[in-house]
Amino acid sequence: MSYPVYWLIHNIIFLFQIVIFIYLVTRLLIQFDVVNSYNQLVQFILKFGAAIVEPALAPIRRFVPPINGIDLSPIILLLGLGFIDLVFAQLLVKYQLLG
């Protein structure tokens, strides 16, 4: 019964991780002047990514400032999402609601 719920939550977390990764890679490519920030696709990725990712990164950035100019908050967010997914699956297995 809980498998569809786990499947939905797992896939939402996975899609969010993909959006974070694409957003960060796009920002990095712009920073190194590999892609043009005036490209419509790049602008769409930045606007969509900022709307989705930045609200999740803001609370982490309050507690973890950049270290030598390197922002660690995306790494912490990705690790946290993976941890939440793993804990949720383990809880469902423990209480025999999954697998």
User: Considering the domain boundaries, does residue 80 fall inside one?
Assistant: yes
Q: What's the pTM? A: 0.88
Tally of domains in the chain: 1
User: Considering the domain boundaries, does residue 18 fall inside one?
Assistant: yes
- What pLDDT sits at residue 5? 82
Note down the domain range covering 77: 3-94
User: Considering the domain boundaries, does residue 99 fall inside one?
Assistant: no
Single-letter amino acid, residue 8: L
23-49 confidence digits (pLDDT tens): 999 999 999 999 999 999 999 999 999
**Cβ neighbour number for residue 23 with a 10 Å cutoff:** 21
Distance (Å, rounded) from C-alpha 96 to C-alpha 90?
Answer: 10
49-60 confidence digits (pLDDT tens): 999 999 999 999
User: Considering the domain boundaries, does residue 52 fall inside one?
Assistant: yes
